Chains A and B, each alone.
Chain A
Amino acid sequence: MSSILIRGGRVVDPSAGIDAARDLLLKDGRVAAMESPGKLAAAAKQAGAEIVEAGGLVVAPGLVDIHVHLREPGQGYKETIASGTAAAAAGGFTTVCAMPNTIPVNDSVETTRWMQGAERNASARVFPIAAATRGSMGEALTEYGSLKAAGAVAVSDDGKPILGEAIMHQALAAAARAGLPVIQHAEDTRMTGGCSMNAGALAFRLGLRGMPVAAEAGLVERDLRLLAELKGGRAHLHVAHLSTAAALDAVRRARRNGLHVTCEVAPHHFVLTENAVGEYDTNAKMNPPLRAESDRKAMLEGLLDGSIDCIATDHAPHAAHEKEQEFERAPNGITGLESALGLTLDLLHRKHKVSLSRLITLLSTQPANLLNLKGRGSLMVGAFADVVLFDPAAEWTFRVADTKSKSTNSPFDGWTMRGKVRVTISEGRVVFRGE
Chain B
Amino acid sequence: MLPSAALSAVATSSTTGGSRSLLSVSSLAVQDVSAILRLATLLEGEEPVARALRLARRRVALLFYESSTRTRTSFELAAKGLGADTALISSQSSSIEKGESLKDTGITLRALGAECIILRHLSSGAPYLLARATGLPVLNAGDGMHEHPSQALLDLRTMLSALNRPEDTAGETLLAGITVCIVGDILHSRVARSNALLLPRLGARVVLSGPPALLPDLAQELGPGLTIERDFDRALKQSQIVMMLRIQKERLTGVHIDLDEYTARYQLHRERLRTSGPQAIVMHPGPMIRGLEITSDVADGPQSVIEQQVRNGVAIRMALIHRALEPAVQPGPGRKSAPVRGAKRSPAKKRGDV
Whether A201 pairs with B221 at a CB distance below 8 angstroms is yes
Residue B262 at the chain A interface, CB threshold 8 Å: no
Whether B221 pairs with A324 at a CB distance below 8 angstroms is no
Residue of B nearest to A282 (CB): B129
A206-B125 contact in complex given A193-B254, A201-B218, A201-B222, C-beta closer than 8 Å: yes
Residue of B nearest to A201 (CB): B221
Contacts of A327 in B (CB 8 A): 123-126, 129
Whether A325 pairs with B102 at a CB distance below 8 angstroms is yes
Contacts of B121 in A (CB 8 A): 326
Contacts of B193 in A (CB 8 A): 205, 207
A280-B125 contact in complex given A193-B253, A207-B145, C-beta closer than 8 Å: yes
CB distance from A165 to the nearest CB of B (A): 21
Residue A255 at the chain B interface, CB threshold 8 Å: no
Contacts of A194 in B (CB 8 A): 253
Whether B124 pairs with A206 at a CB distance below 8 angstroms is yes
Residue A177 at the chain B interface, CB threshold 8 Å: no
Residue of A nearest to B253 (CB): A194
- A205's partner among B17, B144, B222 (CB-CB below 8 A) is B222
Whether B103 pairs with A207 at a CB distance below 8 angstroms is no
In whole angstroms, how far apart are the Cα atoms of A324 and B216 in the complex? 31
Contacts of B221 in A (CB 8 A): 201, 204-205
CB proximity to B under 8 Å, residues A376-410: none
**Size bracket of the B interface:** 20 to 34
**Size bracket of the A interface:** 10 to 19
**Residue of B103, B144, B187, B222 with most chain A CB atoms under a 10 A cut-off:** B144
In whole angstroms, how far apart are the Cα atoms of A327 and B121 in the complex? 12
CB proximity to B under 8 Å, residues A206-226: 206-209
CB distance from A212 to the nearest CB of B (A): 11
Give per-residue flags for B142-154: 1 if the beta carbon is below 8 A from chain A beta carbons, else 0: 0111110000000
Residue of A nearest to B188 (CB): A207
In whole angstroms, how far apart are the Cα atoms of A193 and B23 in the complex? 26
Residue of A nearest to B147 (CB): A207
Contacts of A280 in B (CB 8 A): 124-125, 128-129
Whether A325 pairs with B125 at a CB distance below 8 angstroms is no
CB distance from B64 to the nearest CB of A (A): 15
In whole angstroms, how far apart are the Cα atoms of A194 and B253 in the complex? 9
CB distance from B23 to the nearest CB of A (A): 8
Give per-residue flags for A310-334: 1 if the beta carbon is below 8 A from chain B beta carbons, else 0: 0000000000010011111100000
Contacts of B146 in A (CB 8 A): 206-208
Residue A200 at the chain B interface, CB threshold 8 Å: yes
Whether B123 pairs with A326 at a CB distance below 8 angstroms is yes
Residue B238 at the chain A interface, CB threshold 8 Å: no
SS of A interface (majority): loop
Give per-residue flags for B15-26: 1 if the beta carbon is below 8 A from chain A beta carbons, else 0: 011000001000
Give per-residue flags for A277-304: 1 if the beta carbon is below 8 A from chain B beta carbons, else 0: 0011000000000000000000000000
CB distance from B22 to the nearest CB of A (A): 14
In whole angstroms, how far apart are the Cα atoms of A340 and B218 in the complex? 34
A204-B129 contact in complex given A326-B123, A328-B144, C-beta closer than 8 Å: no
Residue of A nearest to B144 (CB): A207
Residue B317 at the chain A interface, CB threshold 8 Å: no
Residue B219 at the chain A interface, CB threshold 8 Å: yes
CB distance from B129 to the nearest CB of A (A): 6
Contacts of A200 in B (CB 8 A): 218
CB distance from B346 to the nearest CB of A (A): 31
In whole angstroms, how far apart are the Cα atoms of A208 and B145 in the complex? 7
In whole angstroms, how far apart are the Cα atoms of A328 and B144 in the complex? 10
In whole angstroms, how far apart are the Cα atoms of A205 and B121 in the complex? 17
Residue of A nearest to B187 (CB): A204
CB proximity to B under 8 Å, residues A323-372: 324-329
CB distance from B339 to the nearest CB of A (A): 36
Contacts of A209 in B (CB 8 A): 253
In whole angstroms, how far apart are the Cα atoms of A27 and B71 in the complex? 73
Whether A207 pairs with B222 at a CB distance below 8 angstroms is no
CB distance from A394 to the nearest CB of B (A): 33
Give per-residue flags for A180-212: 1 if the beta carbon is below 8 A from chain B beta carbons, else 0: 000000000000011000001100111111000
In whole angstroms, how far apart are the Cα atoms of A325 and B101 in the complex? 7
Contacts of A201 in B (CB 8 A): 218, 221-222
Residue of B nearest to A324 (CB): B103
In whole angstroms, how far apart are the Cα atoms of A34 and B23 in the complex? 62
CB distance from B253 to the nearest CB of A (A): 6
Whether A204 pairs with B219 at a CB distance below 8 angstroms is yes
Contacts of B128 in A (CB 8 A): 279-280
CB proximity to A under 8 Å, residues B291-337: none
Whether B123 pairs with A204 at a CB distance below 8 angstroms is no
CB distance from B279 to the nearest CB of A (A): 32
Residue B9 at the chain A interface, CB threshold 8 Å: no
CB distance from B16 to the nearest CB of A (A): 6
Whether B133 pairs with A207 at a CB distance below 8 angstroms is no
Whether A326 pairs with B216 at a CB distance below 8 angstroms is no
In whole angstroms, how far apart are the Cα atoms of A325 and B103 in the complex? 7
Whether A328 pairs with B123 at a CB distance below 8 angstroms is yes
Contacts of B101 in A (CB 8 A): 321, 324-325
Whether B124 pairs with A208 at a CB distance below 8 angstroms is yes
Residue of B nearest to A327 (CB): B125
Whether A326 pairs with B219 at a CB distance below 8 angstroms is no
Whether A207 pairs with B219 at a CB distance below 8 angstroms is no
Give per-residue flags for B44-74: 1 if the beta carbon is below 8 A from chain A beta carbons, else 0: 0000000000000000000000000000000
CB distance from B186 to the nearest CB of A (A): 9
Give per-residue flags for B120-142: 1 if the beta carbon is below 8 A from chain A beta carbons, else 0: 01011110110001000000000
Whether A326 pairs with B129 at a CB distance below 8 angstroms is yes
In whole angstroms, how far apart are the Cα atoms of A324 and B133 in the complex? 9
The 4 closest A-B pairs by CB, nearest first: A280-B125, A207-B146, A207-B145, A207-B124
Can you name 19 extra interface pairs (CB under 8 A) apart from A204-B222, A208-B146, A327-B125?
A: A193-B253, A204-B218, A205-B221, A206-B125, A206-B146, A207-B124, A208-B144, A279-B16, A279-B17, A279-B23, A280-B124, A280-B125, A280-B128, A280-B129, A321-B101, A324-B101, A326-B121, A328-B123, A329-B123
A/B interface sample: 20 pairs, CB < 8 A:
A193-B253, A200-B218, A201-B221, A204-B216, A205-B193, A206-B124, A206-B146, A207-B147, A208-B145, A279-B23, A279-B128, A280-B125, A324-B101, A324-B103, A324-B133, A325-B103, A326-B121, A326-B125, A327-B126, A328-B124
User: Which residues from chain B sit less than 8 Å from chain A, CB to CB?
Assistant: 16-17, 23, 101-103, 121, 123-126, 128-129, 133, 143-147, 187, 190, 193, 216, 218-219, 221-222, 253-254
